[in-house]
């Protein structure tokens, strides 16, 4: 959980205790709000950089566009706010959570005049699925919940209410002793984890579901596809089935929070040799090098604080 660090709220940095909202905030009732998840890393030279800041801030605004929320700041102002907060809180490796929500006003569905509020929290956050997970891999199940289809879910947006699907799938998986759940889409194809995209490796080729499918086309996913191509590994974006997951040589999850996490078991079936595979290890190594400023070719992904 966040240490009690100051929080950027509606244009100023306030003490942790003051970053509050009224129970009549519209988003609390109806879920129409938007959030992002971003990480910053400290490089060998001691400088801290936010990974793909511009892309995350752009997605925050894209999500708000889909959600018909008018943000009272520009993308540049939000990017500046994130950097300012990290400097103020003297943070190096950390997770950054911007949230845009509808505050007080009317408690009616449309909420046309409710105030739009923006907050940004940041805190040191280790490995999402546990420290061991990055090396040993995690055990996952295919969820009994279905990723909501694109007729009813705005899959390119990180809208708060849409995460009910993820929360229930994650709770079910954990209650059954798994680390994470994989959701299938309405046709039965593999969609994603509750907070991660999914990749598999078979005969040296990397596969991941197409970005047009019912999934958040993550920024980590895009980055890994680029890194795989840089490494000369063939990548294919295509529909994948549950059977293909079971027969994969390697499977891994990726996301800002999850970084690159190997999967060692799916529904009781051992993936490959049951340990982090060589391609997963390579991609993971390249990812951590890029986020820490050790890949000159991908220096453009970093926004120094
Ligand atoms: N799918 C979902 C459903 C998702 O929530 C995320 C991010 C991704 C894919 C990967 O997207 P990207 O971070 O752009 O590579 N999940 C965020 C929230 C996790 C949470 O527990 O909350 C994150 O990783 O920050």
Task: Tell which one of 125, 218, 219 to mutate to probe ligand 1, the residue whose CB is within 8 A of the most ligand atoms.
Answer: 218
The pLDDT assigned to 106 comes to 87
Q: From the CB of 256, is ligand 1 less than 6 Å away?
A: yes
Domains of the chain with bracketed CATH:
2-123 (3.30.470.10), 133-291 (3.20.10.10)
The two three-digit tokens of residue 254, written as one number: 């990726």
For residue 287, how far is the Cα from the chain centroid? Answer: 15
37, 241, 266, 142 alpha-carbon torsion, rounded to 10°: 70
Of 78, 96, 99, give the one whose Cα is nearest residue 33: 99
Ligand 1 atom, smallest distance to 59 CA: 14
Of 58, 156, 158, 170, which residue is the catalytic one?
158
- The answer to whether the beta carbons of residues 41 and 292 sit under 8 Å apart is yes
State the SS3 of 167-236: HHHHHHHHHCCCCEEEEECCCCCEEEECCCEEEEEECCEEEECCCCCCCCCCHHHHHHHHHHHHCCCCEE
The pLDDT assigned to 3 comes to 77
Each residue's pLDDT expressed in tens, for the chain with a length of 305 residues: 567 999 999 999 999 999 999 999 999 999 999 999 999 999 989 999 999 999 999 999 999 999 999 999 999 999 999 999 999 999 999 999 999 999 998 888 998 889 999 999 999 998 888 889 999 999 999 999 999 999 999 999 999 999 999 999 999 999 999 999 999 999 999 999 999 999 999 999 999 999 989 999 999 999 999 999 999 999 999 999 999 999 999 999 999 999 999 999 999 999 999 999 999 999 999 999 999 999 999 999 999 99
The two three-digit tokens of residue 204, written as one number: 């040296």
Q: From the CB of 208, is ligand 1 less than 6 Å away?
A: no
Q: List % helix, strand, coil for the chain (3-state, nearest 5).
A: 30, 30, 40
Q: How many other CB atoms sit within 10 Å of the CB of residue 291?
A: 26
The pLDDT assigned to 2 comes to 60
The two three-digit tokens of residue 20, written as one number: 């509050």
Residue length of the chain: 305
The pLDDT assigned to 1 comes to 55
Q: Torsion-angle region of residue 21: left (phi > 0), alpha (psi -120 to 50) or beta?
A: beta
CA distance 24 to 28: 7
């Amino acid at each position: 959980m966040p240490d009690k660090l100051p929080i950027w709220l509606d244009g100023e940095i306030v003490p942790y205790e003051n970053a509050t909202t009224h129970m009549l905030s519209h988003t609390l009732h109806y879920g129409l709000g938007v959030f992002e998840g971003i990480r910053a890393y400290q490089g060998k030279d001691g400088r801290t950089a936010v990974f793909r800041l511009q892309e995350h801030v752009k997605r925050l605004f894209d999500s708000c566009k889909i959600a018909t929320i008018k943000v009272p700041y520009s993308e540049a102002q939000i990017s500046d706010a994130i950097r300012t907060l990290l400097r103020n809180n003297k943070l190096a490796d950390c997770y950054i959570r911007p949230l845009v929500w509808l505050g007080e006003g009317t408690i009616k569905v449309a909420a046309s005049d409710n105030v739009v509020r923006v907050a940004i929290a940041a805190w040191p956050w280790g490995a999402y699925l546990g420290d061991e997970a990055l090396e040993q891999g995690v055990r996952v199940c295919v969820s009994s919940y279905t990723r909501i289809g694109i007729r009813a879910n705005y899959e390119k947006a990180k809208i708060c209410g849409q995460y009910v699907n993820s929360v229930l799938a994650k709770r079910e998986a954990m209650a059954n002793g798994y680390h994470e759940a994989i959701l299938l889409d309405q046709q039965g194809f593999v969609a994603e984890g509750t907070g991660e995209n999914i990749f598999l490796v078979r005969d040296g080729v990397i596969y991941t579901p197409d970005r047009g499918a019912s999934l958040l086309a993550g920024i980590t996913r895009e980055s890994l596809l680029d890194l795989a191509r840089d490494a000369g590994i063939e990548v294919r974006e295509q529909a994948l089935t549950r059977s293909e997951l079971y027969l994969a040589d390697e499977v891994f999850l990726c996301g800002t929070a999850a970084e690159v996490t190997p999967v060692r078991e799916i529904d009781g079936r051992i993936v490959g040799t049951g340990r982090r595979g060589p391609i997963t290890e390579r991609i993971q190594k390249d990812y951590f090098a890029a986020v820490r400023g050790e890949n000159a070719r991908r220096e453009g992904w970093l926004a120094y604080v």
